[in-house]
Amino acid sequence: MWLGNSMANYTTSDAASYIRAFLSTGASLIVAVDGSKDQSEIARAYEGPANQKFVMNGLAHANELLGAQVFDPRDWGFRGRWNQNTWMHESFYVAERDLVVTVRGERFKFRQGDVMRSIRSGKWPRSKMVSVCEEAGGVVVDCWVDEKESYGMSIQGIYHLADWIHANVVV
């Protein structure tokens, strides 16, 4: 069972590879993904003040993990956007000025306006999830979704194609 939307945060080919590997064990899989198609709703959720604060806190967390003040939050801004090619909302840190950041002895140069990816969140409608499952060699047996096919999407029983045919086709 894979609940939450993190499957959709992979590229579609990486998700298909993961599903294919899982199905090779002979198991079935239940997957939940966010299928929201409402761009204004997505922008409000991922570009609003609460998410901006969450993303910007990532710089402080990076400093904590690195054990040094590597990223000064005053040097970075936030940018969010929908990427229709990847079916993902992407959040970025944006350099507010020219910067040189040193991480464990390695120097990274950023020009004002350069971006550094923070997070991304995929939004796969039913048709995208079905195509990913088919690419993995599986069959979507059932789906449960809300009326707009935006939330609560889960795919039940993604079976390896040969097993599904064997179990469901009467010869």
Q: What is the pLDDT of residue 160?
A: 44
From the first residue on, what is the mean pLDDT of each consecutive set of 10 residues in the chain (171 residues)? 81 90 84 83 91 95 94 96 91 96 92 95 86 86 72 46 44 33
Radius of gyration (Cα) for the chain, nearest Å?
20
pTM of the predicted protein model: 0.75
- Return the closest-CA partner of residue 120 out of 60, 19, 38, 42: 42
Element spanning 14, H or E: helix 12-23
Q: 153 and 144 in contact (C-beta within 8 Å)?
A: yes
- Reading the block at residue 88, the tokens are 């993902």
Q: What is the pLDDT of residue 73?
A: 95
